[in-house]
C-alpha cells in the first residue's frame, strides 16, 4: 500500500502568481520527498513550471478560469 501524499496546486492565471507559488512545490518535496505533486495551469503557462524538478506532473486546462476554480473546488470536496 502506497502511503505517500499527493498534492495538487492549481494556478490558471498570472505569471507572477505562478512564479510566487513555485516554492510551495519545493517545500512540499523537502518535507515529504516521496509525495507526488501535480500542477494544474493553463497551457500558455506550462513553460513556467515544466522544468521544475519538484513537480511530478503538469496538467494543462484551457478555457474559463472561473470554471476551473469551481472544478478544483469540487475535486477537493470529493477527496
Which tens digits make up the pLDDT trace of 8-65?
999 888 899 999 999 999 999 999 999 999 999 999 999 999 999 999 999 998 877 6
Given phi > 0 = left and psi -120 to 50 = alpha, else beta, which region is 31?
Answer: alpha
Instruction: Return all residues near 61 (Cβ < 8 A) that are at least 6 apart.
Output: 12, 40, 41, 42, 43, 68
Kindly list the structural domains of the chain, giving each domain's residue range(s) and its CATH number in brackets, ordered by start. Answer: 6-68 (3.40.50.2000)
pTM over 0.85: no
The CA-based angle 21-7-74, given to 5 degrees, is: 95
Amino acid at each position: 500500500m502506497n502511503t505517500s501524499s499527493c498534492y495538487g496546486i492549481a494556478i490558471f492565471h498570472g505569471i507572477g502568481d505562478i512564479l510566487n507559488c513555485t516554492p510551495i512545490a519545493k517545500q512540499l518535496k523537502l518535507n515529504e520527498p516521496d509525495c507526488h505533486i501535480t500542477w494544474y495551469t493553463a497551457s500558455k503557462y506550462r513553460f513556467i513550471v515544466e522544468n521544475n524538478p519538484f513537480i511530478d506532473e503538469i496538467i494543462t486546462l484551457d478555457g474559463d478560469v472561473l470554471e476551473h476554480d469551481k472544478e478544483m473546488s469540487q475535486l477537493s470536496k470529493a477527496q
